[in-house]
Amino acid sequence: MTVESTRPDASAPRRVVVRAPNWLGDAVLALPAMSALRRAYPDAALTIAAVPAVAPMFRELTDVRPDAVVAVETGNERDVLATGRFDTIVLLPNSFRSAWVAKQAGIAERWGYRAGARGWLLTRAIARPSGSVHQADYYRYLVRALGIDVPDSAPSIRASAATVARADEILQAHGAGAGRPLVGMAPGAAYGHAKRWPPRRVAEVVRMLTADPGATCVLIGAAGDRQAGREIESALPSGVHVVDLIGRTDLRALIGVLSRCAAFVSNDSGAMHLAAATGVPVTAIFGPTNERATAPIGDHDVLVHPVFCRPCMLRDCPIDHRCMKGISAEMVAGRVRARLARVE
């Protein structure tokens, strides 16, 4: 892949802020690019600026090792950036607004993609890669075009000891005792209903895995996923138990819970990328979205059902949701069992 040549730095930046992507999954996939910036400027003070829903992730253990993490929202972003007295900002979001706010905050060096008619706001404007690339490579490409080496490594997040201890307390309080492998399940997806595997299928997988190999299944997700959790629990046969943590963990506690899982089942979602980054083998279920662009990075199972209309990228299916319904509970449970067998 050829990258655009840019002018060399006159001097190394001293106070760098990286504006993180706004979506959790994208923020996870940007970690290798952010880590490369940390290595390129080891003597600089590095701050991560992220929306409140994403910022806590950077307070866990990653290779980015920021000196500070600040939460930014529409109402305070310019003031927060101005207060930091940064000399350089690397803009990972493509929006015009992010570049405009950076200029208004008085940051002299503004680096990012020339997108959304914002090139004139940037001091180093990089042309986006041609063709379709994986989202992680999209962020790597930007940093490489800035003259910085970025290894093709997978994102990595390690839960701190305090976070793991807190997660253990939550799991124990909700009946997830020791002695049985934990299988995390994320039945939701922020993008839309079309990305969600039918809750009844999730319930079938819970039934299969709790019987053989005797796993404990844990549902995770945001408060908006509670309806999916209720549908799953309603579809379970009498006597089959699932631990429902949907809406009951913040982001850092979720990272701790994921660190305790032996396997993970997910739609294409931020939780999928978060689980993969913590080192959990993921069985990822893809329907309307493109697995070539957003599949979890590493040794994971990606399940798709080939139909003529996918990937359509629609939020709601206008026909019969065949791309998701074509993936059976037996297929998913079989992949998870194979993963659990490797760690026994």
DSSP 310-343: -S---SS-SS--HHHHTS-HHHHHHHHHHHHHHH
Q: What is the dihedral of CA 81, 278, 173, 204, to 10 degrees?
A: 120
Q: What structural domains does the chain harbor?
A: 15-149 (3.40.50.2000), 159-343 (3.40.50.2000)
Exposed/middle/buried for residue 281 (C-beta within 10 Å: 0-12, 13-18, 19+): buried
**Cβ proximity of 276 and 295 under 8 Å:** no
Alpha carbon distance 119, 107 (integer Å)? 15
Alpha carbon distance 344, 340 (integer Å)? 7
Q: State the pairing for strand pair 157-158/61-62.
A: antiparallel
Structure tokens at 87: 């000399």
For residue 266, the model assigns a pLDDT of: 97
End-to-end Cα, the chain, rounded Å: 41
**Cβ proximity of 80 and 49 under 8 Å:** yes
**Cβ proximity of 33 and 134 under 8 Å:** no
For residue 305, the model assigns a pLDDT of: 97
For residue 344, the model assigns a pLDDT of: 64
* Residues facing 113 on adjacent strands: 126
Phi, psi of 70 (to 5 degrees): -125, 140
Structure tokens at 97: 């607004």
Alpha carbon distance 270, 27 (integer Å)? 9
Contacts of 340 (CB under 8 A, 6+ apart): 181, 183, 213, 215, 262, 263
Selection from 39, 288, 59 nearest residue 159 by Cα:
59
pTM of structure: 0.94
Q: Which residue has the tokens 């993921």?
A: 282
Structure tokens at 109: 């060096």
Mean pLDDT by runs of 10 across the 344 residues of the chain is 46 94 98 98 97 98 98 96 98 97 98 95 97 96 97 96 97 89 92 88 97 94 92 95 96 98 97 98 97 97 97 94 97 98 81
Structure tokens at 169: 């307390």
